[in-house]
Structure 1
Amino acid sequence: MSQDGNQDNSKINDVDVADSEETTIKKPRTDVSEPISINSTTNAEPSGRPLPMFVAGASPNKYLTLDQFKEFQQMNDELKNMAIAHEISLDPNFSIEGLKEKSSTQLSKQVEEMGKKAFYDILRERLAEDPPNYTPFFSLYAELKDLALEASTAASAKIFDNFDPEEPKRQQENNCLDMVGLVHAFVDKLGKICAPIRDSQVAKLKKENDLVNLFSGVHTLLDDMKHDMLNFTVKANRHQILQHSVQMESQQFLKLLKFSPHLANETRAWLAEATAEYQSKLPPDQPMPSKITEKQLTQILAIGYARLLDGKRTGDLFPETLKYDILRVEKLWKEKFRLVICLTSVFIASNLAGKQVCEETDFKKRLKNNLLALLQDVDESKLKEALETVFLECDRQLKTSLGDKWNETFSALLKRQIIAVENESNPVRRIVEDRMFSIISTILTGPQAMKDQGSRLPPGLSLIEEELVALISQYLPVTFHNSRSFCQFYTATINEHLHHQSSPQKPSTSQ
């Protein structure tokens, strides 16, 4: 605004913004207030005065309606189901027991154990009364059939048709109560329909004569049978669950984005980085199209997935579309880091050992196996001390292989070179990382890409071929499922990024 404009405004507005609250409220909304000088070099409020409401705007209170609350609640339930379906899809050894183990905390386990102990202690107190109080046991016995039906198929459930929940009361009325015998008879029925793996539990319960221990064991057996039934159902329907999971994850993610578009910010940034790296590898005469093809999407995603194993995008920086797999990816990038440090150290030691030692003995393989054992729990935070141990092992192996030819001068040189591996820019470490990224991204692109490369590993990686295959084999199901679930979103996001990239920047209107 010009200086003249400021003077005009000050004439129009005779009332200062800093006047009393009463004066400010009485001012007409059409008044133009005196401009406030804002110092751009500081974050402090100008002149100690807060910005007026018409400048900063109000922050009105927002409340969830009942319908919105129900929608959020429903979405939360759907996300929980989606997480379970995702685990089933990616884990061929998925089990209900494993799911409970992952979702339970140490505290929740302790609380559950304490609750069970208190429950059975109360039962034991009732049984110790004179005469014994069997009333709570009558209720527990009556519930057994319903619990058994939850752990049975429709066909096997017929075995409980003759179960009489009132039998204990009838026996007590006739002074012939045999609770242990009744529960043993029920256990016998369970033994006829449970999985063979539960036979030992059934046999143990048939010998148990302590009523409280007997009920405790039956409840445990019924829980295990229920898990067996659920695990069987999951395995029988795994293919259908996989198909459903792909659709569910895509739909739920898009639904979440409608509520909060910023939830995909890290995914967009991750895709932008992968796209930029893909573009940098294109020949100068091959410009990037405004819309990518399916093949280009596969190549960009392969770069993105391979870069996640560098361990740079962790925590809040991890792509939102892969959040369910963050623990899997974290485990794999730690394994890759271990392989990088191991192979880098082997390269350094082999260079000092010489061609004859490396080619005529199993020096490299033996050293690799020993180093992998030493680097079992290594990560960036422990690397410095781990490299000291790596040096000692390399030094020992070189002394064994070279004998008197290995002296203190070579040992000091080896130590300097091994310790230098801590630096991410170390040239030998960079070579290993680049070669590993190359083969991982190539395999993730697909069989044709590997065939085009001649189905060969980059130089030096054959030493860790077995470990590398194991790592990629664990990663492939994750990337395959993720690309199937979010391919449409990824395509749209990359195309949008390319559109913004190619659009000419609007000239600034500020003077």
Structure 2
Amino acid sequence: MPKEADHLEGGGDKESKEERTQDASEETVRKRVRANTPSPHRGNTPQVSVEELMETARGVTNMALAHEIMVNHAFQVKPAELPEGSLERRVKEIVHKAYWDCLEAQLKEDPPTYGHAIKLLAEIRETLLSFLLPGHSRLRFHIEEVLDLPLIQQQTENGALDLSRLSQFIVGMMGSLCAPCRDEDVNKLKEITDIVPLLKAILSVLDLMKVDMLNFAISSIRPHLMQQSVEYERSKFQEFLEKQPNALDYTEKWLEDTVRCLREAAADGSSAASSDPPSLIPLNVHNQAYLRLLRWDHDSDLFPETVLMDQARFQEMQQEVEQLVLLSSVLLVVYTTTGEAISGLPGLMETLKNTVNVMLADMHTPSFSEQEALTTIGEKLCFELSQCLSQHGYSPFSADRKSSLMGQISATIQPDNAVRKLMGSRVQSYLLAALEFSQHKTPPPLPGGLVPVGRELKELAVRFSRLVNYNKLVFSPFYQKVLDKILSGGGSP
């Protein structure tokens, strides 16, 4: 993996949101498996042994890892870090100190003893060779020639071993093989003169290079993994289902509730579904079910098992939707209230949008007060609009107009506010259209009023569609069985 691996550094900026989902997803799955949650449909929970339960948990964990690699394009393996002050960390530190103290004592003997050093060189040699690609025959020959273990053994017997020279060769080879993100670490090795600290630092950097190589391999083979990953996840879930027969109960309830909502909408003659059941074909039910995940009550409703590994992602998207709805609602109020005076003014929309975005940045934190934020937003927007109107020769805002605009902005806090409901409905319609258009390269047109948040909404729709389509690929056989039962009258929606 010589310098071709430049892209190992890519995706780092996305880690803050996406990669933290891996541990959360796996832990959520483990908890659900260990809890062996009673079925909402059945009264009895199957009895399983502790060994079977732990084996199932391990299988689900492996499935979660495979899933994370596929859906998180910024996924990277991280070096293992034991918790500070933990017993495991303390034991590791003691063992490592004893090893390096022993090596230093051997090298200070007269004559020096090289037993530990030769084993260490053999390990380093194999690690360097493991980094080579099939075409690196020249580098392979050079490493095997310099780190020739029988020759090194002979040199120790004759007192001719030059550990410093070999260490410098190793550092130079590491510089040729490392990813660009390790250049600084390798350069620091060149500043170490004492042999034992140098060998210790070499092993530490080699461990990091192993992680880099693994991430390089993951990024290289990801495009070829799709079909295998789908089959692997499906088979692992099937194994899980055989041991936990109630493992689809919350998925069934999720789909049943979706069918019930569609039937009620059709009966009411609402626009959410036509009066005759085209809305109940499986594809429509699937899409509507996934859309419901963006309105989920995560505090009271248990998440469907088939999307459990992505619960954190869906929750994050749900928060993005809520913020986009409120943002677009405020901007629509401003433009409908202020009228033609500000329409078409260059840069004004972006300025107003940035002002509102800053105030809503912490919208989903416990300390956030939506009422206070909307009041402040109203004051700031009135000030900016007054300045803008004055600069372009219009009369500034009167007290009545300011009061009216601030009142309408504050009113968007209500979930049943007409503007907020309208924007929420249009965002949902766009995301539903994105699912229906996901096989086409051309995205659906933006509904009216959403142009100011069009870029963010399109990016969200792409991520949402990719996640949903991958989930459909994996779990479509399970969904089909559940929906066949529900739509044929075997279910109880």
* Aligned position for 1:227: 211
Contact 2:341 2:389 survives alignment (8 Å): no
Q: Provide closer, same or farther for how the CA distance between residues 139 and 389 of structure 1 changes in structure 2, counting only shifts above 3 A.
A: farther
Contact 2:387 2:396 survives alignment (8 Å): no
* Aligned position for 1:387: 374
Contact 1:159 1:189 survives alignment (8 Å): no
Q: 1:308 is aligned with what amino acid?
A: L
Question: Are 2:201 and 1:217 aligned?
Answer: yes
Contact 1:302 1:442 survives alignment (8 Å): no
What is the alpha-carbon distance in structure 2 between the residues aligned to residue 446 and residue 237 of structure 1?
28
Q: Provide closer, same or farther for how the CA distance between residues 456 and 402 of structure 1 changes in structure 2, counting only shifts above 3 A.
A: same
Contact 1:187 1:202 survives alignment (8 Å): yes
| The one of 39, 62, 83 aligned to 1:81 | 62
SS in 1 for 2:277: coil
Which structure exhibits the higher relative contact order, with contacts defined as CA atoms closer than 8 Å and separated by 6 or more residues?
2
What is the alpha-carbon distance in structure 2 between the residues aligned to residue 165 and residue 153 of structure 1?
22
Q: Where in structure 1 are there 5+ consecutive unaligned residues?
A: 1-58, 506-511
Contact 2:83 2:89 survives alignment (8 Å): no
What is the alpha-carbon distance in structure 2 between the residues aligned to residue 450 and residue 236 of structure 1?
24
Residues 292-371 of structure 1 aligned to structure 2 (within 5 Å):
296-313=281-298, 317-360=302-345, 362-371=347-356
Q: Provide closer, same or farther for how the CA distance between residues 465 and 256 of structure 1 changes in structure 2, counting only shifts above 3 A.
A: same
Deviation at 1:276, TM superposition (A): 3.0
Deviation at 1:174, TM superposition (A): 4.4
| The one of 489, 492, 508 aligned to 2:481 | 492
* Aligned position for 1:144: 124
Number of residue pairs matched? Answer: 431
What is the alpha-carbon distance in structure 2 between the residues aligned to residue 81 and residue 324 of structure 1?
12
Q: 1:220 is aligned with what amino acid?
A: S
Residues 132-281 of structure 1 aligned to structure 2 (within 5 Å):
132=108, 136-153=116-133, 156=136, 157=140, 159-162=142-145, 163-165=147-149, 174-176=158-160, 178-195=162-179, 198-280=182-264
* Aligned position for 2:464: 475
Q: Provide closer, same or farther for how the CA distance between residues 131 and 78 of structure 1 changes in structure 2, counting only shifts above 3 A.
A: closer
Contact 1:142 1:165 survives alignment (8 Å): yes
Q: Provide closer, same or farther for how the CA distance between residues 311 and 215 of structure 1 changes in structure 2, counting only shifts above 3 A.
A: farther
Q: 2:124 is aligned with what amino acid?
A: L
Contact 2:60 2:240 survives alignment (8 Å): no
Q: Provide closer, same or farther for how the CA distance between residues 502 and 274 of structure 1 changes in structure 2, counting only shifts above 3 A.
A: closer
What is the alpha-carbon distance in structure 2 between the residues aligned to residue 175 and residue 448 of structure 1?
70
Q: 1:89 is aligned with what amino acid?
A: M
Q: Provide closer, same or farther for how the CA distance between residues 330 and 315 of structure 1 changes in structure 2, counting only shifts above 3 A.
A: farther
What is the alpha-carbon distance in structure 1 between the residues aligned to residue 244 and residue 400 of structure 2?
62
Deviation at 1:243, TM superposition (A): 0.9
* Aligned position for 2:414: 423
Contact 2:438 2:465 survives alignment (8 Å): no
Deviations 1:310-346 (A, max 9, x none): 2434686222111221222222221111111111111
TM-score by length of structure 1 reads 0.72
Residues 45-60 of structure 1 aligned to structure 2 (within 5 Å):
none
TM-score by length of structure 2 reads 0.74
Deviation at 1:79, TM superposition (A): 2.3
What is the alpha-carbon distance in structure 2 between the residues aligned to residue 338 and residue 94 of structure 1?
26
Contact 2:254 2:289 survives alignment (8 Å): yes
* Aligned position for 2:446: 457
SS in 2 for 1:483: helix
Deviation at 1:110, TM superposition (A): 7.7
Mean alpha-carbon deviation: is it higher for 72-81 or for 297-306?
A: 72-81
Contact 1:142 1:166 survives alignment (8 Å): no
What is the alpha-carbon distance in structure 1 between the residues aligned to residue 179 and residue 45 of structure 2?
61
Contact 1:420 1:426 survives alignment (8 Å): yes
Question: Are 2:400 and 1:409 aligned?
Answer: yes
What is the alpha-carbon distance in structure 1 between the residues aligned to residue 191 and residue 249 of structure 2?
61
Mean alpha-carbon deviation: is it higher for 353-362 or for 153-162?
A: 153-162
Contact 2:250 2:303 survives alignment (8 Å): yes
Deviation at 1:214, TM superposition (A): 1.5
What is the alpha-carbon distance in structure 2 between the residues aligned to residue 150 and residue 462 of structure 1?
52
Deviations 1:167-215 (A, max 9, x none): 7776565455543322223333444544565455444434431324322
Deviation at 1:479, TM superposition (A): 0.7
Contact 2:248 2:304 survives alignment (8 Å): yes
SS in 1 for 2:193: coil
* Aligned position for 1:38: none
RMSD (CA atoms): 3.9
Aligned identity (percent) is: 25
Contact 1:340 1:433 survives alignment (8 Å): yes
Q: Provide closer, same or farther for how the CA distance between residues 409 and 60 of structure 1 changes in structure 2, counting only shifts above 3 A.
A: closer
* Aligned position for 2:429: 438
What is the alpha-carbon distance in structure 2 between the residues aligned to residue 368 and residue 113 of structure 1?
49
Deviation at 1:440, TM superposition (A): 0.7
Q: 1:80 is aligned with what amino acid?
A: T
What is the alpha-carbon distance in structure 2 between the residues aligned to residue 368 and residue 62 of structure 1?
56
Contact 2:104 2:196 survives alignment (8 Å): no
Q: Where in structure 2 are there 5+ consecutive unaligned residues?
A: 1-43
Q: Provide closer, same or farther for how the CA distance between residues 398 and 214 of structure 1 changes in structure 2, counting only shifts above 3 A.
A: same
What is the alpha-carbon distance in structure 1 between the residues aligned to residue 482 and residue 309 of structure 2?
20
Q: Provide closer, same or farther for how the CA distance between residues 431 and 106 of structure 1 changes in structure 2, counting only shifts above 3 A.
A: farther
SS in 1 for 2:479: helix
Rg larger in 1 or in 2? 1
Q: Provide closer, same or farther for how the CA distance between residues 155 and 457 of structure 1 changes in structure 2, counting only shifts above 3 A.
A: closer
| The one of 96, 112, 116 aligned to 2:77 | 96
Q: 2:353 is aligned with what amino acid?
A: K
